[in-house]
Amino acid sequence: MRPDILNPLFAEAKTLDGVGPKLAKPLGKLGLERVKDIAYHLPERFVSRRAIANLDDGAEGEQVIVALTPTEHRAPYNPGRGPYRVLARDEIGNICALTYFGRASYTAKKQLPVGEKRWVAGRLDRYGDMLQIVHPDHVEVDSAAHLARMNEPVYPLSEGLTQPKVAGLVAQSLKRLPELPEWIEPGQFEREGWPTWHDALHLAHKDAHEKARDRLAYDELLANSLALLLVRADGRRRKGQALKGDGRLRAKLALPFEMTGAQKRSISEIEGDLQQEAPMLRLLQGDVGAGKTVVALAAMLIAVEAGKQAALLAPTEILARQHYETLRKMAAPTGAEVALLTGRAKGREREGLLMGLLNGEIDILVGTHAIFQDSVTYKDLGLVVVDEQHRFGVQQRLALAGKGRRAPHTLAMTATPIPRSLTLAQYGEMDVSRLDELPPGRQAIETLVFPQARMDEMVAGVERHLATGQQAYWVCPMVREANGSFEQADIAAAEARYAALAERFGDSVVMVHGQLAPEIKDANMERFASGEARLLIATTVIEVGVDVPTATLMVIEQAERFGLAQLHQLRGRVGRGSQKSRCVLLRSDELSENGKKRLTYIKDSQDGFYLAEKDLELRGGGELLGTRQSGDAAFMIADLEQVQKLLPAAHADARLLIDRDGGLTSARGEAARVLLYLFERDWGVQLLRGG
Ligand code: ADP
Ligand code: MG
């Protein structure tokens, strides 16, 4: 049970003044559902602005505050297409456009009546030969209010929220913070000179207070390490069963290829684990195409040779089906019985499956989470394989682990190469096998860097490519500023590119992005997958789940702004068929040092592990797009640099605490329980009760 002291933090956001149904949606989009979420919604950065007397005084790209008087409102020619602009003049007659995308135009209409002077705060930019401010951060009537804007937090926003609104909610939620017991080890707390939890949250909203930020990040890392160690300790207490295969089924596998060294090594590591009584907890890492499936099959056959059953859990119905087809064919010569169970199986069919599982006729079960519903009972489950590990919570893994008469062994598979220093944070103390060698004969994807400025030549190149009958991807960057402004701006950029390319290529072009209705997105994807559409324009949403072997060209705009891991994932969408594939990275004229390095690394390497290490090395500086969204964010508060800096200490501390006080009953242990609930790692606490 959650300690009462945390109740004010877990109260719903709607208990704050001013939060009604209208705000609930944009808040929900940011995951801000409870008071605690809002208190932890930390500023992305702080802006120091300069008040300028007129626009001549401001530099391009500078954050300014300036008095402007609107002279004219210009609605887009075609509603919903293009931005809404308000033209405004400064004291000496310079004109500036205040530009709004999407529904933000309603705000503009209200806040900027023609002829009335306003204080406008925002980033001064240029649009063609006109000055502009896109989505001003503040528009105020009161001339004194702008003075308060000199060191101002900038919060991540979603459409429907404004900076002042969020700041107001944060202030309210900070008033409700309780005093919590200190869970950080006293010596370390002293040494680091960290503020208390309560003070740290207040400070982190006021300015870029490094100690406060670090403390909050440390809390999260400590909670995570504690929970993972509790799971691990629980696993060790549970008895598993040693599985010794005699090789008779594996010998019958008639594979059309020789296993790579990495595959053989991984299989023997797994075989070693299975022979132990302690349940295996192993992660198999390998890029897309590295050949994880056959390793999983070998592991499952060992279980079957030992007289047990194995189950493979896939994240989606489609993937479950794919796995089932592949495994059934590969396993056919061995005589092992493979079955598929998804949520779709009903009536007789389902009954038959359940019976086969119970009486042991089925050796290998493939399926979605339906395979660990309560009604599914195995005769003797010895091994569970989990594909695409990161999509499953630890909780689910535990539910599955409870299925066997004794704890089954677990093999998790992931296609996301993670730097060695981060596997600990994401996967706890799992043992790791790496498929760091691709099967022979894979086509290298030719990767080129090309100046974005020569767009015309690029488009002509795409035209020639399409004329050969092949298909192509075109990836648009996210143009949004790192200041929490609207997704709308990204979409607008993608829409503009789409409009331009559709003019050239007609209706063989389709587009997908995050704001299309799912059925339209699916229909567009389908048209592309079927070959009816030849060119797919996308924001980074194509990162997941697209497999079109005849798409052999990918163009990535402003490639230098993507992280290496993200570029690698994107590029992995081509090179899937037998034809030679190409990836063109369009780069801006001016590149940062890191931007240049990133392009060089990605051009020269196709090794996901290598690129993941380099990615980590080159992080920081805030110049990357969407790092939070790209799926590497295992943590809510701690960023990658903090993970590297603080995780070793947090992990060591967690281990020491658990060694000394495994039941978390001392005063500090009690405080650690509060921490686990605060970060919702309470599945760790729940294990304590049993043990
Ligand atoms: P992953 O799941 O790691 O993305 P798969 O297991 O689906 O990769 O394998 C990709 C393809 O490579 C499959 O067609 C598989 O049959 C083939 N393959 C696997 N191992 C080898 C190998 N050692 N040599 C040649 N082809 C292989
Ligand atoms: Mg796979």
Contacts of 148 (CB under 8 A, 6+ apart): none
What are the phi and psi torsion angles at 393 (to 5°)?
-80, 160
Q: Which residue has the higher pLDDT, 546 or 15?
A: 15
In the block, residue with structure tokens 């030679």: 580
CA of 291 to the centre of ligand 1 (A): 3
Q: Say if residues 64 and 51 touch (Cβ distance below 8 Å).
A: yes
Q: Point out which residues pair with 583 in neighbouring strands.
A: 447, 554
Buried b (16+ CB within 10 A) or exposed e, 33-42: ebbbbbbbbb
User: Across 8-94, where does the E strand assignment appear?
Assistant: 45-48, 50-51, 63-74, 84-89
pTM: 0.68
- Which residues neighbour 500 within 8 Å (Cβ) at sequence distance 6 or greater? none
Is ligand 1 within 6 A of the CB of residue 685? no
291 lines ligand 1 (CB under 6 A): yes
What pLDDT shows up at residue 173? 98
Compute the distance from residue 495 Cα to the ligand 2 centre, in Å: 33
- CB of 576 sitting under 6 A from ligand 1: no
H or E stretch covering 385 = strand 381-387
Closest protein CA for atom 9 of ligand 1: 291
Residue nearest to atom 19 of ligand 1 (CA): 291
State the amino acid at position 159 in one-letter form. Answer: E
For the stretch 194-204, what's the b/e string if a residue is b when 16 or more beta carbons lie within 10 angstroms of its beta carbon? bbebebbbebb
Residue 363's Cβ-count burial label (10 Å; 0-12, 13-18, 19+) is buried
288 lines ligand 1 (CB under 6 A): yes
Tell me the three-class secondary structure of 176-236, residue by residue. Answer: CCCCCCCCCCHHHHHHHCCCCHHHHHHHHHHCCCHHHHHHHHHHHHHHHHHHHHHHHHHHH
* pLDDT value of position 488: 57
- Per-residue pLDDT of 584-624, as tens digits, reads 999 988 888 888 999 999 999 998 888 888 887 787 544 55
pLDDT at 482 over 50: no
Instruction: Give yes or no for residue 257 CB within 6 A of ligand 1.
Output: yes
Ligand nearest the Cα of residue 285 is 1
Ligand nearest to the CA of 287: 1
Q: Render pLDDT for 33-60 as a digit per residue (tens, 0 to 9).
A: 999 999 999 998 888 888 899 999 998 8
- Render pLDDT for 217-265 as a digit per residue (tens, 0 to 9): 999 999 988 988 887 777 777 778 999 999 999 999 989 999 999 999 9
What does the pLDDT look like over 627-638, one tens digit per residue?
443 334 467 888
Ligand 1, pocket-test mutation among 263, 292, 293, most atoms within 8 A of CB: 293
**Digit-coded pLDDT (tens) for 417-472:** 777 767 766 666 678 899 988 888 777 899 999 999 999 999 999 999 999 999 99
| E strand or H helix that includes residue 98 | strand 95-100
Ligand nearest to the CA of 286: 1
Rounded Cα gap, residues 465 and 574, in angstroms: 14
For 519-542, the pLDDT digits (tens) are: 787 788 889 989 999 999 987 655
